[in-house]
A and B are shown apart, each in its own frame.
Chain A
Amino acid sequence: MNASDLASSYDLVVIGGGPAGLAAAALAARAGLATVLFDENPGVGGQIYRAITFSPVKDRAVLGEDYWAGAELAAEAQASGALIVNGATVWSLDPARLVGVSIAGQARLIEASRVIIATGSLERPFPIPGWTLPGVMSAGGAQTALKAQGLVPNGKTVLAGGGPLLWLLAAQILRAGGRLDAILDTTPRGNWLRALAHLPDFVLSPYFSKGLKLLREVRAKVRVIRVDRLEAVGGERLREVVFGTADGERRMPADLLLLHQGVVPNVNLAIAAGLAHTWNERQLCFEPVVDRDFNSSVPGISVAGDGAGIAGGTAAAERGRIAAIAAVRALKPEASVPDVQIVRQKLRREAMGRAFLDGLNRPAASFRQPTGDTIVCRCEEVTAKQVRDTADLGCEGPNQMKAFLRCGMGPCQGRLCGLTVTELIAAQRGTTPAEVGYYRLRPPVKPITLSELASLPIAEAERKAVER
Chain B
Amino acid sequence: MYKRLAEAGTPVAITVDGKPISARAGDTVAAALIAAGIDHCRTTPVSGAPRAPYCLMGVCFECLVTVDGVGSRQGCLMPVRDGMTVETQTGKREAGR
Contacts and interface: CB of A to CB of B under 8 A. Distances in A.
B2 A412 contact: no
B50 to A, nearest CB: 5
B54 A141 contact: yes
Contact of B27 (A140, A149, A236): A149
B1 A40 contact: no
Interface string A441-455: 000001101000000
B59 A134 contact: no
Given A57-B6, A237-B40, A151 B35 contact: yes
Contact of B59 (A151, A152, A236, A412): A412
Given A151-B35, A381-B47, A145 B2 contact: yes
Nearest to B79: A42
A142 B51 CA distance: 16
B51 A134 contact: yes
Contact of B64 (A144, A150, A411): A411
Interface in B3-61: 3-6, 8-9, 24, 26-28, 31, 34-35, 39-40, 44, 46-47, 49-61
Given A123-B55, A150-B4, A416 B50 contact: no
Q: Which bracket fits the contact residues of A?
A: 35 or more
A42 B24 CA distance: 14
Interface residues of B, number: 40
Contacts, number: 136
A141 B57 contact: yes
Contacts of B39: 134-135, 236-237
Contact of A149 (B31, B47, B58, B59): B31
Contacts of A378: 51, 54, 60, 62
Contacts of A381: 44, 46-47, 49
A390 B54 CA distance: 28
Looking at chain A's contact residues, is the secondary structure mostly helix, strand, loop, or mixed?
Answer: loop
A149 B60 contact: no
A261 interface: no
Contacts of A237: 39-40, 50, 52
A145 B46 contact: no
B57 A149 contact: no
B55 A140 contact: yes
B6 A58 contact: yes
Nearest to A256: B1
28 contacts: A50-B57, A87-B79, A122-B59, A137-B52, A137-B56, A138-B54, A138-B56, A141-B55, A141-B57, A142-B56, A145-B34, A148-B26, A148-B31, A151-B3, A153-B1, A236-B39, A236-B40, A237-B40, A378-B54, A378-B60, A378-B62, A381-B44, A381-B49, A410-B61, A411-B72, A412-B61, A416-B55, A446-B58
Interface of B: 1-6, 8-9, 24, 26-28, 31, 34-35, 39-40, 44, 46-47, 49-62, 64, 70, 72, 76-77, 79
